Structure 1
């Protein structure tokens, strides 16, 4: 018969009993008391009876205790099955997700889990279910998110130049207008009509939820502007999108600018924004955005928020009904200045 494995010498029976009294883990306390009996000269059989286990399990406790001390007697989490992907394959998968599919090669314009599973099989001969692949890509930090539109012909360098060059210009403006501080405003328009948008909604898995959708074409335009730093907002609901409507909106914005301030109004280069017939109030200076750069304007994000929460999934009875709902949605937004600050904040324009 082979001799038992000796316990480590830096503990004793009294010390293990004190640890057993302090621990909140019942399994660890039972194992500590069993090993304490061995320290006191008891046999391994006595320890097995005290712990209500077999001699082999007592031997396992001794080995774990000798290796890691009292912490070795705490139940650990089972390692589970080995991952189907190694680090190299995860890195390649991340690159494929970032790069996106090539339509004429992959046959799709956006990755679905089934497409990524097929890609893994073709590249590495690794078979993974959609559920497994979903856990992997989520663990890598990826989520299915709404896409922000980006013009195919935009100039990225022009966007970066605008972010860098505009704030110094705003800082110099008070020198030209002594005693005036600067308010940064953003402006845009949104068409709201009977042929309305349908948004995502919560529903039971396996079902296909529905939402009302109208095919009529009556519509109105929300002319909206926000000052994210101060949480202010100004808007008009107009039947047309033209120079006259824009002039009225500029007058509305001017009424919201503080008396001791001058507004820098940032907006895109639509025809009615740049018209020579546009009447610009004296307390507003228009700063046009670079062409084809809607992501620089946070009002675009406000339209998404308002549609998702207040204006989509509706059937409007008439033009007046459209106007009423648009006005109600904007008043809700005005009553939540923190929402304007949160959605409209831009790091490159926040300090001015």
Structure 2
């Protein structure tokens, strides 16, 4: 992974150069859910995954089963129904994942319009992560990268103000429909 450069210095008239060793063939994926509930602190639930066998034809990203497991874990941690607002990633629209969602009444899924990353609060999380724990860092090995990612995400988990800011940055708001007494 090429390190994101945030701030650096160099002698006047010299362009700073960040040297990076050869590209690794190991792949890491991270799936995250930003969780909002009126009256409660916002939460971030994430799962990193190392894809060690992708060179021999294995997956290079999360499979529908990984997302299913993340949703089950989120449901257990949050203790209530989940309303998903997902981007149009092909795995999010997988028929098996769709069947799983349809089979459970505690989960409802909506898809964002195509090409609308500005409406996805998780994109704000990735931006914060790149600007904080990954900025100006050349990772020595894959374990160093995953440790920095976990540390950065763990720090964001406890900053509900930043998670709320990611929702505010999208322009979306939380609305609740209250049942009228009959």
Residues 223 and 242 of structure 1: CA distance in aligned 2, closer, same or farther (over 3 Å)? same
Q: How does 1:1-352 map to 2 (within 5 A)?
A: 195-203=1-9, 206-217=13-24, 218-228=26-36, 230-239=41-50, 240-257=61-78, 259=79, 261-278=80-97, 279-280=100-101, 282-345=105-168, 346-352=170-176
Contact 1:223 1:237 in 2 (8 A): yes
1:71-93 CA-to-partner distances (Å, cap 9, x unmatched) read: xxxxxxxxxxxxxxxxxxxxxxx
Aligned residues between the structures: 156
Which whole-Å CA distance do the structure 2 matches of 1:317 and 1:200 have between them? 19
1:127-179 CA-to-partner distances (Å, cap 9, x unmatched) read: xxxxxxxxxxxxxxxxxxxxxxxxxxxxxxxxxxxxxxxxxxxxxxxxxxxxx
- For structure 1, the residue ranges without an aligned partner over 5 or more in a row are 1-194
Larger Rg over CA atoms? 1
Which whole-Å CA distance do the structure 1 matches of 2:163 and 2:77 have between them? 15
Residues 238 and 263 of structure 1: CA distance in aligned 2, closer, same or farther (over 3 Å)? same
Which whole-Å CA distance do the structure 1 matches of 2:140 and 2:64 have between them? 28
User: Offset at 1:228?
Assistant: 4.4
Contact 1:302 1:344 in 2 (8 A): no
Root mean square deviation of aligned Cα: 2.3
Higher RCO (C-alpha 8 Å, min separation 6): 2
Which whole-Å CA distance do the structure 2 matches of 1:310 and 1:284 have between them? 33
TM value normalised by structure 2: 0.73
